[in-house]
């Protein structure tokens, strides 16, 4: 958690990118709706990050963060396969090293870029359909 808290503190102090956030003087935070994410706001408030810095999302919004969701799913599945193939107990450092290796092998920049390129179309669709789930091909 500490690296995430440190990153949030840095982001809170960073000016918003002027060409993207024309009406904000600070960065914005975007979390999906599960309680594990929404429950972070008391901690963020204690760090001086106001809840109005949070991007409002529709109730069915995991597809809004599909880049992260896809990366997480791919890396998690690959790491579970590695653990199944190497069932002996390892040091925490070994698990960390293997996960970093697996992540860099299975999460390629090309697939990340493809996910990012499709986000504007996804956001427009969800906005036009008042927050409904996007079609599967867009997730």
What pLDDT digit, counting tens, does each position of 57-114 carry?
Answer: 776 665 778 888 888 899 999 999 999 999 999 999 999 999 999 999 988 888 888 8
What is d(CA 130, CA 134) in angstroms, rounded to the nearest whole number?
10
pTM > 0.85: no
Q: What long-range pairs does 94-97 form, CB within 8 A, spacing at least 24? A: none
Contact 55, 28 (CB under 8 A): yes
What pLDDT is attached to residue 26? 61
CA angle, residues 6, 12, 16, in degrees to nearest 5: 130
Phi-psi region of 130 (alpha: psi -120 to 50; beta: other; left: phi over 0): left
Instruction: Tell me the C-alpha distance between 45 and 63, whole Å.
Output: 26
The answer, yes or no, to whether residue 126 has pLDDT greater than 90, is no
Q: Which has more confidence, 124 or 26?
A: 124
What are the pLDDT digits (tens) for 7-64?
Answer: 656 655 555 545 545 555 566 677 766 666 667 777 778 877 777 777 777 766 657 7
d(CA 117, CA 3): 28
Alpha-carbon separation of residue 47 from 1, 22, 44, 51 (angstroms): 14, 24, 5, 11
């Amino acid at each position: 958690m500490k690296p995430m808290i440190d990153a949030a503190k840095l982001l809170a102090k960073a000016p918003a990118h002027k060409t993207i956030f024309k009406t904000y003087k600070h960065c914005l935070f975007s979390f999906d709706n599960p309680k594990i994410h929404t429950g972070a706001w008391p901690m963020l408030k204690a760090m001086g990050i106001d809840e109005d810095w949070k991007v409002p999302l529709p109730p069915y919004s995991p597809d809004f963060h599909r880049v992260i969701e896809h990366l997480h799913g791919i890396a998690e599945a690959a790491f579970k396969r590695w653990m199944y193939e190497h069932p002996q107990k390892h040091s925490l450092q070994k698990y960390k090293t293997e996960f970093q290796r697996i992540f860099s092998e299975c999460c390629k920049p090309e697939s990340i870029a493809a996910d990012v390129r499709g986000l504007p179309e996804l956001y427009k669709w969800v906005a036009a359909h008042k927050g409904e789930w996007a079609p599967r091909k867009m997730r």
